[in-house]
Structure 1
């Protein structure tokens, strides 16, 4: 049962990885076209910087969710080096549970923020600002899902005696 949950979360992460790659390609193309347009065609695009900024916001939140799952976020391990192995496993579980609580608060306030800006539009593209701000709660939900996968794996490893 738990392995099936982890497998489905990893499947979701593959989709997120493809989405992230597409976002970064589009952002690069938009920025390249803006530079080309400004210096070769001698005309500036009003919407390109804004679109690149919103894509970057989404990319950061999606990339953070993937980095959580791959355990590639920056961490300070000085305390862990002084602890016994079982205590490290318990600490890992507690850290990710605390992260879930923080991210749940971020989801709640993120949706409130989306609601507050739902009537505003972006200056250049005239799209609802809710699209840009929605990256906060949506990305946080993906981060929570990946934290849950790590907690499940750590609990399974703790019970099985495997090293994390």
Structure 2
């Protein structure tokens, strides 16, 4: 458990660094696009829109993984207020197991899909089209790690409380 937490701490810090770089990249690319389109009309580049979209997708999926670890995703908490803590903990473990299953599907099917479209190229950037879909399985891997950590934490609390 301690090793998984340490690994997740490191990966979360890395993802947060990537998210900062992605945000800066989106801002710079969009600023460049607006500046070249309206100020330097003859130097406008079409690839900036595709790059901003690509960075946005990576930011959304990686950010979701970080929010999942921090337990900051949207949830209905009326159940936790009504049920006894041990019963709610058991229900939460079941929910986490279903989330883990869904994340595993994202990983497996996401990599399969990326592999199936790896020969297609982006129109303007010329890179593989799978770069637009790669954040799905990558975020799924991190989600699996973070969910597993939460399951182990909840199991420890459930059995410690018994």
TM-score, normalized by length of structure 1?
A: 0.92
Aligned: 1:64 with 2:87: no
Aligned: 1:42 with 2:29: no
Partner of 2:139: 139
Partner of 2:7: 8
**1: CA distance, partners of 2:150 / 2:62:** 17
Partner of 1:51: 51
Q: Secondary structure at the match of 1:79?
A: helix
Deviation at 1:21, TM superposition (A): 0.9
Partner of 2:106: 106
**2: CA distance, partners of 1:28 / 1:153:** 38
**1: CA distance, partners of 2:158 / 2:8:** 20
Deviation at 1:4, TM superposition (A): 2.4
Q: Secondary structure at the match of 2:104?
A: helix
Deviation at 1:108, TM superposition (A): 1.5
Q: Extract structure 1 runs of 4+ deviating beyond 4 A.
A: none
Partner of 1:17: 16
Partner of 1:151: 151
Residues 79 and 88 in structure 2, CA contact (< 8 A), matched pair in contact too: no
Structure number having the greater helix percentage: 2
Unmatched tracts of structure 2, length 5 or more: none
Deviation at 1:45, TM superposition (A): 1.7
Spell out, residue by residue over 1:45-79, the C-alpha distance to the aligned partner (whole angstroms, 9 max, x if none): 21001001011111111101100000110111122
Partner of 2:77: 77
Unmatched tracts of structure 1, length 5 or more: none
Deviation at 1:31, TM superposition (A): 0.7
What is the Cα-based RMSD across aligned positions, in Å?
1.5
TM-score, normalized by length of structure 2?
A: 0.93
